Amino acid sequence: MNKLYFILIALVVLQASQAIDLTEALNVNLRGQLKAYETFLSTLNNEHQHKDDLKKLIQLTEDALKLNDFEEKEKAITSMPTHFSQEFNEWISKKLEEAQLDGDIENAMAFYNSLLTEHNSYEDDIKKTLSILEEIHRVADLKDKVERFINLSKDFSESFDKFLKESALPNVNTRLQKTIEFFANVLKDESVPFKKEILELKAKCEEALSSDKSLEDKQKALHEVTYTDNQELNDFLQKKNLEYD
């Protein structure tokens, strides 16, 4: 799984959707990243090896926010990694990815908590799932955390799994459909870079949308098309998403 460098928000739920123009869309994303960086900084002690670089990154992000020209702002963002060592770039990428995953887990916990007040017949199953999610949330190893989160439903009872599909499936299918539409829009440009890769991502979502796919398979597909192994592709799709929003 790749480490997204300056992408805090998942592709299909990018918060820039309400931005009035491209510059403001970038600002929305920058403000989200800045908030994350400041949170990271608050957890570091004075001797942490990356503390000074993180302060520098915060300053660069604040400077980028002040720029009014879209191209200048975009250039400032894309050049940020060049100001730091590979070690720091990998560290901050992992921190951002962890933050995104934690957000996904917290959203899942909110979903199951909402079910508690609506479906008492599955109270024990829901509480057990919440307990597992809390445990996953505390896992330190990122790869293990992702695997456990993706495979959350493997131990669900047949009846509980059916109930969840009826409750959560429409939402996941909507996210898949919107992601397919996004890829389709990108592919309208015949000369678009990464055409082969984007076609594969679109096909993965279309396959996941099939009625014979489990909720787990659908969630896994969404995760994989959001966090591809190609950093340049991720950067390109991030930019295209901003343009469409």
DSSP per-residue string spanning 21-43: SHHHHHHHHHHHHHHHHHHHHHT
Q: What is the pLDDT of residue 2?
A: 38
Count CB-CB contacts under 10 A for residue 160.
19
Q: What is the pLDDT of residue 92?
A: 93
239 alpha-carbon distance from chain centroid: 15
Residue 51 identity? K
Q: What is the pLDDT of residue 59?
A: 97
Residue 176 in 3-state DSSP? helix
Name the residue among 145, 143, 116 with its Cα closest to residue 128.
116
Residue 9 pLDDT greater than 90, yes or no: no
Round to whole Å and give the CA distance between 175 and 182.
11
Q: What is the pLDDT of residue 111?
A: 78
- Quick one: average pLDDT of 9-15? 34
Count CB-CB contacts under 10 A for residue 78.
13
Q: Encode burial over 195-233: b for 16+ CB neighbours within 10 A, e otherwise.
A: eebbeebbebbeebbeeebebbbbbbbbbbbbbbeeeeb
Q: What is the pLDDT of residue 165?
A: 75
**In this structure, what DSSP letter does residue 8 have?**
-
- Quick one: average pLDDT of 13-36? 67
Q: What is the pLDDT of residue 8?
A: 35
Structure tokens at 222: 């969404």
DSSP per-residue string spanning 64-130: HHH--SHHHHHHHHHHGGGGS-HHHHHHHHHHHHHHHHHHHHHHHHHHHHHHHTT-GGGHHHHHHHH
